[in-house]
Chains A and B, each alone.
Chain A
Amino acid sequence: MNKVFVNGSYLISSLGFGMEENMKKLYAGESGSCAISDPNLYPDTFFASKIDVARFQAEFKSLFPTNKIEFPFFEQLLLLSIQKTLIECKIDFQTKDTLLILSSTKGNINLLDEKEKGNWEKDRVFLWKSAEVIQAFFGLANPVQVISNACISGVEALSIGYRMIQSGIYKNVIVAGADILSEFVVSGFQSFQSLDAEMCKPFDSERIGLNLGEAVGSCLLSELPITSKVHIIGSGISNDANHISGPSRTGDGLYLAINSALNEAEIPANQVDFISAHGTATNYNDEMESKAFQLAGVQNAQVNSIKGYWGHTLGAAGLIESLASIEAMKQNKSIKTLGYSKHGVSVDLKITKESKSLEINTLLKTASGFGGANAAILFKNEIDDVQM
C-alpha cells in the first residue's frame, strides 16, 4: 500500500491567514471568537468567530490580480486556500491523476437570502455548482468530489482522499473544506439552543454550548512527502444508528470509528499520543466523546479541543483542526484547550491545560455530527525512515 502524506497545509480562520499566524495564536492561547452584533447574521448579539473580510479581499486581489470573474465569498475562500496549497506543493495538478475533494455542509447557502442573492444564477446555491466553478477555475481534469456529511465532512474528506491514493487511482488529492457564517446557520443553531452566549468551554463542568465559526483549509495528500513527513495510517467512519440530532449516550458509535482506524493502522490504542477531539462544548458531545475514548482505550493520551479559538467551523472543522494538530505534532508542541478549567465529563481524560513541548508521534483526530455520523483518522510523524 502507498503511504499518503499530508502536504501544503493552509488555512484561514478568525485567528488569521496561513499556518504560521494561526499556530502562533493557538500556542499563545488567543481566541478569535467575540460577541457579534450583525442583524444580517442574527437579530440579537451572539458569540462567534469571523474571518477578517477586508483583509481577505485584499489578499484575494493580490493573489489573483488579473482575475476579472467574481465569486461568492465561500468560493473565494476555497480558491485562495487551494491556490496557496498548490503554490507550496508545485505539482502538475491538471493531470488525470489529481483529484480535488471539497468538504462543506452548506456552501453558498447565504445566497438563499434575498439580501445576499444578488445576480448569482439560481443554481449557485448548490454545492455541485461551486464544485463545477472551482474545477473550471483551476482547469482540473477530474470532476471535483463534494462530501457533505455534516460536521464530520472535513475528517471524512481526508479519509476519502487517503483511500483514493491508497487504491492507486490518484497520485494526488487536494482536500479543501470551508463553511461560512450565515443567518441560515446561526438561526438554526440558535433554534436548537446549542450556542453559548460567551466563549465556549470544551470538556468543562460549566459548558453550555458551542460557538460557531467560519474558516477554510486545504492540503495536498500525496504518495510523496513533498512538504511534510506526516502521513495517514488509518481512518474510520461510523454511524450511531441512534438519533438524528443527538449523539449516542454511550459513545459506541465514535468508538467504532476509532477502532476501525486503529485496526487499519495496526497499532495498539496506547500508542496514540495525542487526540484532537471534536470538543464542541455542548453537553452531550463532550460527554459522548469521553466515553468513546475510554471504550477505544485511548483515554491515556493527551486530549484537546480547538473550538475555543476559532469556533465550530462545520465542514471545515475536521480539516483545519487536523492541519493545526499536525503542525503542532511536527513542532512537538501541544495546544491547550481554551475555555477548559474544571473537568466536566465522566471519564478522567488528560485535557491539555497549557501549551507546551510534547513529543507527539501518533495523532488521532475525531469528529461527530448530526445524522449520528462519527469519524476518526490517525496521523503519524515519521522522523527517521523517510527520505525527503
Chain B
Amino acid sequence: MFKCSQHIYLSKNQLLVDFQKQLEFEKSLNYAKVFKGIYKDLGLDYPKYFKMDYLSKLGFLSAEVILKDQPLTSKYASEKIGLIIGNASSTYLMDSKHQSTLSDKTSYFPSPANFVYTLPNIMTGEICIRHGFKGENALFISQKMDIDFLWNYAYNLFENHKLDACLLGYVEVKDDDYESFLMLLERTEKQGFTQNNLKNICTTYKKETNG
C-alpha cells in the first residue's frame, strides 16, 4: 500500500535521518537555540518562520529536513498529499502566553498574533502552506504516540485513494522538552510498510537517543 521513503527523529538536541546522526547540539542548549541551529543548517530563508510558535517551528523544521530534496507536488497531485500528526500538549506554551495577557485588567492586551498559534493544527497548516499540501489533514492529541491508530488511519486513507503521500508522525513541545518523529509515506503497489515496521523504527530511535 505504502512505503516509508524517509524518517527523521529530533530529540535531546540530536537530529537523526534514517537512523544516521545528521546534527548534534550541546546538551546544555535550549530548544530555541537548537531550532535556530537547524534553521541555519538547512540554509532556509523563510520569514514566516519567525512568527511561528515553537510547536509550529518544530513541525516545520522536521518536514523541511525530509522534503528539502524532494518536492512532493512535482510527483503527486497536491490534494493527494496530507498529514497525520500526533501531539500531547497541544500549544501549551502559547496558551500560557495568551493567558498571561489576560491577568491584569488594567493592561489587557490579548494579541491576535499569539492567539492564532493556540491551535495545534496551525503547525500542520504551516507545513501545508510551505509545501503546497492540500490533502487530508489530521491532528490527534494523545499522551504518547498511538502508533497503531495512526498507522490504521493512514492505511485507510491510502486504501480509499484519499492520499498518495503523507507525512506521519508525532511532534511535541512542552516546557523545556521537545520531540519530533516524522516519516514520509508514499503509495506503492507492493505490500509495503507495515505497522510493525513503524513500531520498530520508533523503538530504535528512542533507544539510540536515550542510550
Please determine whether B128 and A241 come into contact, CB atoms closer than 8 angstroms: yes
Smallest beta-carbon distance B172→chain A, Å:
11
Residues of B82-107 contacting chain A, CB below 8 A: 82, 88-90, 92, 95-96, 98-99, 101-103, 105
Do A191 and B111 touch (CB < 8 A)?
A: yes
CA distance A112 to B102 in the complex (A): 11
Give the contact stretch, choosing among B7-15, B31-39, B112-120: B112-120
A239 touching B133, Cβ below 8 Å? yes
Contact of A43 with B137 at beta-carbon distance under 8 Å, contacts A112-B95, A371-B124 already known? no
Contacts A148-B90, A238-B79, A370-B119 known; A167 to B155 CB distance under 8 Å?
yes
Interface residues on B, range: 35 or more
Task: Check A241 against B156 for contact (C-beta < 8 Å).
Answer: no
Nearest-neighbor residue (CB-CB) of B101 within chain A: A187
A239 and B128 contacting across the interface, CB-CB below 8 Å: yes
Rounded to whole angstroms, the CA-CA distance of A60 and B143 in the bound complex is: 28
Distance in angstroms from B105 CB to nearest chain A CB is: 6
Determine the chain A residues whose CB is within 8 A of the CB of B137 once the complex forms. 149, 237-239, 371, 373
CA distance A145 to B140 in the complex (A): 7
Q: How far is the CA of A164 from the CA of B157 in the complex (A)?
A: 10
In contact, A373 and B153 (Cβ under 8 angstroms) = no
Considering the chains assembled together, what is the distance between the CA atoms of A239 and B125 in angstroms?
A: 7
A167-B134 contact, Cβ under 8 Å, with A112-B95, A184-B99, A192-B115: no
Residue A105 lies at the interface, judged by CB distance under 8 Å to chain B: yes
Contact A164 B118 (CB under 8 A): no
Mark out the residues of chain A between 235 and 256 whose CB falls within 8 Å of any chain B CB in the assembled complex.
236-245, 253, 256
Tell me whether A244 and B125 are in contact (CB under 8 A): yes
B52–chain A nearest beta-carbon distance, Å: 9
Assembled-state Cα–Cα distance A235/B98 (Å): 34
A370 to B156, CA, bound (A): 25
Is the Cβ of A370 less than 8 Å from the Cβ of B122? yes
Contact A370 B125, CB 8 Å, known A237-B136, A237-B137, A241-B78: yes
Contact of A163 among B90, B92, B156 (CB under 8 A): B156
How far does the Cβ of A340 sit from chain B's closest Cβ, in whole Å? Answer: 27
What is the distance, in angstroms, from A382's C-beta to the closest C-beta of chain B? 21
Complex interface: chain A residues within 8 A of B162 (CB): 236, 260, 264
Contacts A191-B115, A238-B79; A127 near B141 (Cβ below 8 A): yes
Q: Nearest chain-A residue to B130 (Cβ)?
A: A241
B102 to chain A, nearest CB (A): 6
Most buried by B among A187, A264, A371: A371
Residue A132 at the chain B interface, CB threshold 8 Å: yes
The answer, yes or no, to whether A223 is at the interface (CB within 8 Å) is: no
Q: Compute how far the CA of A373 lies from the CA of B124 in the bound complex, rounded to whole angstroms.
A: 9
Question: B122-154: contact bitstring with A at CB < 8 Å (1 yes, 0 no)?
Answer: 101110110111111111111100100100110
Give the interface of B toward A (CB within 8 A). Answer: 78-79, 82, 88-90, 92, 95-96, 98-99, 101-103, 105, 108, 110-112, 115-116, 118-122, 124-126, 128-129, 131-143, 146, 149, 152-153, 155-157, 159-160, 162
